Structure 1
Amino acid sequence: MQAQNHMNDSAPLTSKLWSVHVDDNGVTANDQLTDIIKQTPEQGFNWVHLQADTADAWDTMKHLGFNDETCDSMCALETRPRSIQINEGVLVYLRGINLNPDADPEDMVSLRIWFNEHTVISARRKNRKLLSVQDARLQLEAGGGPTSSSQFLLELIEKIAIRISEVVDSLDDELTTFEAEGGMDSTARYQLSLIRRKAAAVRRYLAPQRDALDTLYRMTKFFDQQQAFQLRDITDRVTRYVEDLDLAKERAMVLQDELRNRIAEQQGMRMYVLSLVTAIFLPLSFLTGIFGMNVAGLPGTEEPQAFTYLAIGMIIVAIVMLFAMLWKKWL
């Protein structure tokens, strides 16, 4: 736990990314952050977005009115998707697709959200921006966003789910393309392994995120009937994404097995052809070995046409061997 510093409204908050009030009149800046979680505006809600890994992040959250337990939870280094009631509100850990430069999409970004009836406080780590949060802010500034904290949370979860669906659909498209092309080179084998790793990495956080949303759905006092239905719909979609990822992993495994079988079949066919060629040339090699010995008494050494007779005999032997293989259906 970090040491607490007594802060005032004029103290610079390096952890604060933005703080706004949202109501029917639009979005306005809100610098009155002291005990903001206890404020009850006449309409709308307050949204504070923070960077959770700055030097003053813990003190900033204490300044907002959180207790020590909630401050520790919001500043945790590692998070796993879940939903818990804490500090007279709900703390939700979510994971979103990482679309930052030079980042892998499956390296999912952690987003911490605490909300109650009048306040939403979200936090992320440095260089781990989530485009869904940026989209939500732009929507509010454009005047088309929700004016209640619970509806805003649902809209934000919806945007996160949409970007997850894009990655899941992309993996499905890659597998479909691979199935259609049926490549068998080393690049294709690497591509299948990469798809399996991506699916496993996304599913690692998506499965507990489904459970977190299901737990959030059961907290009925924070949502009206329509919002609860919307949250259930999002939860069902996330469940389908998890199932799609499981299916993608299985499809990749089946394709890898098929690829190995096809490669083994090709190798076996090549070895089979080599065996047949060896069988044909084995008696010919025996004859050339016999007549190639440099010893006295070898038949045909004094006959001018001996080589011709031997060559014809070897051709006849090869033809007989070939017809024998055809008769045995070895070819």
Structure 2
Amino acid sequence: MSGTSQEITAEASFLPADVARHETDGTRPAPRRRRGSKHRPVWEERPTPFGLALKGLVLAVVVLAILFPLWTVVLTSFSTQAETIRAGGLVTVPGELTISAYTQILSGGVVTRATLVSIGITAVGTVIATTVSVLAAYGLSRPGSVLHRPILFVFLITMFFGAGLIPTYLLVSSLGLINSYWALILPGAVSAFNVLILRSFFMGIDQSILDAARIDGAGDWRILGRIVLPMSKAAVAVVALFYGVGYWNAFFNAILYINDNAKWPLQLVLRSYVLQGVSLPGSGTGQVDVATGAVTGLPIQMAVMVLAIVPILLVYPFVQRHFTKGVIFGAIKG
């Protein structure tokens, strides 16, 4: 026993005083955090001043490449027609500013109506698509559900093979949805990719929690509403954002199924008026209402473009923080 104590004392003599004391009495010292110290792996080199400067320069160039076009579009939309003529097109330096372009496009013309149509389609479509996807994903995530594997196989097939444009148009036409808002909502109401993301996330929930709820007498609807959905807010929020952005930016279905210009969404107005430069009928004079007034041409076009971008920019920051947890984590666990 004495020999063992001498060996411990001899070993402790080569250690720092506080570490030696804890080694002799059998306790471990708490890890000491040094202020300003950075723990790096042995394979990671310490950044050099040149490397840090290069990273900052690259980041600044990327940010500038993203913000400069947006700045130009917004500034042009607030500029007068004379200012755009003086600049030779898009305005990059602030000059004479006005809100006449926004006043004209929001005064009850084609653009205002198209904006309301897009908001309604996006809201209703997102709610329907998210609800259907959550229900389908929860059913497919339960191993004992009826026809679990065949239905999952059908979902997987739709990700690689599609019927095509003509069969889809014939189906929408046979259902009587031509020139109806439902033609812009129902064809994109379910995405197999989003259903699989939710399924992967639901399968990652601890099965013992769901079994405990069943023992307490909870059914599938209560388990889904009280347990699964509160634990899956991140994944559901990301999927809802995917659907919302898809509905807001969609214009091709409107080209195929909508014949009445009064039912056009904002993206189709943006495509026809801004990109193609054509005049849209419906104002009674053969010209769009936004084409009249003191401000015409480029400021009006940029104002329509800003109006199409702003809603997504307002919603995205509130959901962006869920992306890593909701998509990547759910995909890995699946």
Q: Please classify the TM superposition score into its range, dividing by the shorter chain length.
A: under 0.3
Q: Which has the higher contact order (CA 8 A, sep 6+)?
A: 2
Give the TM-score normalised by structure 2: 0.21
Give the TM-score normalised by the residue count of structure 1.
Answer: 0.22
When Rg is computed on C-alpha atoms for both structures, the one with the higher figure is 1
- Structure with greater helix share of residues: 2
Higher strand share: 1
